[in-house]
């Protein structure tokens, strides 16, 4: 229990440092953040499918999606997030849904709290979990988009996720996007193939062409490496601990 508390405190400290660093790095370029600067009472709606892609790898060839959006005002919003993966040759996949209250805490970062629901399914049946969420989302120094969260399941299992991506402007319409993601878990959860420690690291690069700002097809590459106990669980199930493949998809928003 002491280890869990120390690990949780460490993760929360890291999240706080990232948020504080992100806001202070832009302090000289932006006015001081205050409610006086946020007087717009209109309610807005935003939705983006950041990734809707076909992942070409040996054997599985999954369809992958990552969508999110929000409804609300300048400071206070309700965020909804959904991502998942479905194999094209088998009835197997996993999905994740989040509903979050989001509050602006600096010109470039939001603090988010809410719930997350996970579902894994295959021919043998379904498994699901529910989590409480404390997270952050915004722009880190050098305009890296970051999204992270600390999760506690209904069984007390603690995990964390950090994702980052960066838009590299090649022309006005051609944009390269490197992407990074990693997951960490305090406890192992064998029924979900989750080991303790760092679970995986994922790197990718996508090159998109904005036919319109709101619609951009893309191609790219993606590499995913499972680590530690998570890799061991994957081996026991006969899966690949490292995958590399081509992706093709579309990014759209409104």
Where b means 16+ CB within 10 Å and e means fewer, 155-168 reads: eebbbbbbbbbeee
Per DSSP, helices labelled H in the chain are 2-25, 228-236
Averaged over 20-45, what is the pLDDT? Answer: 54
Summarize pLDDT for 207-221 with one digit per residue, the tens.
999 999 999 999 999
Amino acid 91: pLDDT: 83
Angle at 200 between CA 220 and CA 84, to 5 degrees: 60
Amino acid 219: pLDDT: 99
Averaged over 174-193, what is the pLDDT? Answer: 97
Task: Find the range with the poorest average confidence among 2-16, 63-77, 129-143.
Answer: 2-16
Under the banding of pLDDT at 50, 70 and 90, the label for residue 88 is confident
Amino acid 59: pLDDT: 66
Q: How much of the chain, in percent, has pLDDT values that exceed 90?
A: 75
Under the banding of pLDDT at 50, 70 and 90, the label for residue 122 is confident
Averaged over 117-142, what is the pLDDT? Answer: 95
Average pLDDT of the chain is: 87
Fold observed for domain 2-27+46-253: Porin (2.40.160)
For the chain, give every domain's residue range. 2-27+46-253
Under the banding of pLDDT at 50, 70 and 90, the label for residue 234 is very high
Amino acid 90: pLDDT: 78
Amino acid 40: pLDDT: 62
The model's pTM: 0.82
DSSP H/E element including 80: strand 76-87
Amino acid 123: pLDDT: 85
15 has a pLDDT exceeding 90: no
Residue 142, sorted as left (phi over 0), alpha (psi -120 to 50) or beta, turns out to be: left
Amino acid 12: pLDDT: 45
Amino acid 212: pLDDT: 97
Summarize pLDDT for 52-61 with one digit per residue, the tens.
999 988 767 8
Amino acid 202: pLDDT: 98
């Amino acid at each position: 229990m002491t280890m869990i508390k120390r690990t949780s405190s460490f993760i929360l400290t890291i999240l706080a440092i990232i948020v504080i660093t992100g806001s202070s790095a832009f302090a000289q370029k932006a006015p001081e953040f205050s409610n006086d600067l946020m007087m717009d009472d209109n309610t807005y709606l935003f939705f983006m499918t950041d990734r809707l892609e076909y992942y070409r790898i040996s054997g599985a060839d999954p369809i992958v999606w990552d969508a999110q959006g929000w409804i609300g005002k300048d400071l206070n919003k309700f965020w909804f997030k959904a991502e998942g993966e479905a194999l094209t040759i088998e009835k197997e996949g996993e999905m994740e849904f989040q509903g979050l209250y989001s509050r602006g805490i600096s010109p470039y970062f939001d603090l988010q709290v809410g719930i997350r629901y996970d579902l894994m399914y295959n021919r043998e049946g379904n498994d699901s979990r529910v989590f409480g969420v404390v997270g952050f989302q915004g722009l880190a120094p050098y305009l890296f988009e970051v999204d992270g969260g600390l999760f506690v399941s209904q069984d007390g299992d603690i995990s964390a996720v950090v994702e980052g991506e960066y838009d590299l402007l090649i022309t006005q319409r051609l944009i390269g996007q490197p992407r990074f993601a990693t997951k960490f878990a305090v406890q192992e959860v064998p029924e979900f193939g989750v080991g303790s420690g760092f679970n995986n690291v994922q790197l990718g690069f996508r090159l998109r062409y904005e036919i319109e700002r709101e619609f951009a097809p893309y191609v790219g590459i993606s590499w995913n490496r499972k680590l530690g106990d998570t890799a061991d669980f994957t081996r026991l199930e006969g899966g690949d601990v490292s995958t590399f493949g081509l992706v093709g998809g579309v990014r759209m928003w409104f």
